[in-house]
Amino acid sequence: MKTILITGCNRGIGFEFVRQFSLMDINIIATYRNKSSSEELLSLAEKSSNIALLELDVSSNQSIEEFVNSMSEKPIDIYINNAGMMGSGARTFGEVKGDRWLEVFNVNTVAPLLLTQKLFGNFLKGKDKKLVYVSSKVGSIGDNSGGGSYIYRSSKTALNQVVKSLSIDLKDQGFEVVAVHPGWVQTDMGGPNALIDVTTSVAGLINVITNLNGSDSGKFFNYDGQTIPW
Ligand SMILES: NC(=O)c1ccc[n+]([C@@H]2O[C@H](COP(=O)([O-])OP(=O)(O)OC[C@H]3O[C@@H](n4cnc5c(N)ncnc54)[C@H](OP(=O)(O)O)[C@@H]3O)[C@@H](O)[C@H]2O)c1
């Protein structure tokens, strides 16, 4: 059976990835930060034979080290870097605070590359060799007609650049590396007025991931399979 590793699984899109994959013939390693805010995930894992849970706070070097050590030699076929944050507080011109920006940058941009570097031995042992990074359309420079959102936008734009470089650097080892946009989704981050529900978003993303073929590396996909300009 294939093994898929997903980060940030206690709620929102990450939880829905786990729920939908748990119905398939696939092993899932799902990460969460706090037991106290992960009741639904803990209960789903108890009922499902194919979900293993591990703790991971991607903003903590110590947590990353402990997590990577606990992964030891496990092969990972598909990696979904989902954990991400919008950041609280001012995000408009004239009000942006450097410390808030760095906090978001650390989670959305730095951690995805550090985890990829540290888990690379696990990824090399996997067969599918698919690395998927949940980005956002607001990170697309070509699509930016609204301005603002300096912190979140720039963190996802930089993540996209990380994805592009990984797709080039890891090509010869057979990896497919893509960025995906889940749509504007009704989660804590997307809010109740978002355009689509989490079931639709994740079903679309799973379809995109399943259908990745050798020529898709280095692309940025919408949840419906359309490509998005960088
Ligand atoms: N919802 C949308 O409309 C939308 C649109 C475009 C892109 N996205 C992207 O989709 C991904 C998932 O978003 P979502 O809508 O599901 O957001 P969400 O409901 O706010 O969930 C975010 C997830 O990331 C985890 N996370 C945050 N900081 C973390 C850290 N330091 N270490 C480990 N986990 C951490 C959260 O865990 P805790 O509960 O412990 O905080 C939670 O599981 C994100 O990368 C987001 O940027 C979402």
pTM of the predicted model over 0.95: yes
DSSP classification of residue 196 = B
C-alpha of residue 190 to centroid of ligand 1, in Å: 10
Q: Are 133 and 163 in contact (CB under 8 A)?
A: yes
Question: Alpha helix (H) ranges present in 98-149?
Answer: 98-105, 111-118, 120-125
Percent of residues, the chain, with pLDDT higher than 70: 100
Phi, psi (deg, nearest 5) at residue 10:
-80, -15
Reply yes or no on whether the pLDDT at 91 is more than 90.
no
pLDDT for 89 equals 72
Q: Are 17 and 202 in contact (CB under 8 A)?
A: yes
For residue 127, give both structure tokens.
């067969």
Q: Are 15 and 38 in contact (CB under 8 A)?
A: no
CATH T-level fold of 2-222:
Rossmann fold (3.40.50)
Taking the alpha carbons of 35, 70, 104, 12 in that order, is the dihedral positive or negative?
negative
Query: Which of ligand 1's atoms lies nearest the C-alpha of 184?
Result: 3
For residue 192, give both structure tokens.
């109740």
Average pLDDT over residues 111-137: 98
Phi, psi (deg, nearest 5) at residue 180:
-130, 145
Task: Kindly report, residue by residue over 22-72, the tens digit of the pLDDT.
Answer: 999 999 999 999 999 999 999 999 999 999 999 999 999 999 999 999 999
Domain range summary for the chain, segments of one domain joined by +: 2-222
Reply yes or no on whether the pLDDT at 193 is more than 80.
yes
User: Taking the chain, what is the end-to-end CA distance rounded to the nearest angstrom?
Assistant: 34
Question: Alpha helix (H) ranges present in the chain?
Answer: 12-22, 39-47, 61-71, 98-105, 111-118, 120-125, 150-169, 198-210
Reply yes or no on whether the pLDDT at 162 is more than 80.
yes
Top mutation candidate among 7, 9, 13 for ligand 1, by most atoms within 8 Å of CB: 13
Residue nearest to ligand 1 atom 33, measured at CA: 57
pLDDT for 86 equals 95
C-alpha of 202 from chain center: 12
Task: Kindly report, residue by residue over 198-224, the tens digit of the pLDDT.
Answer: 999 999 999 999 999 989 999 999 999
Which residues lie closer than 8 Å to 3 by C-beta, 6 or more apart?
26, 27, 28, 29, 74, 75, 76, 77, 78, 126
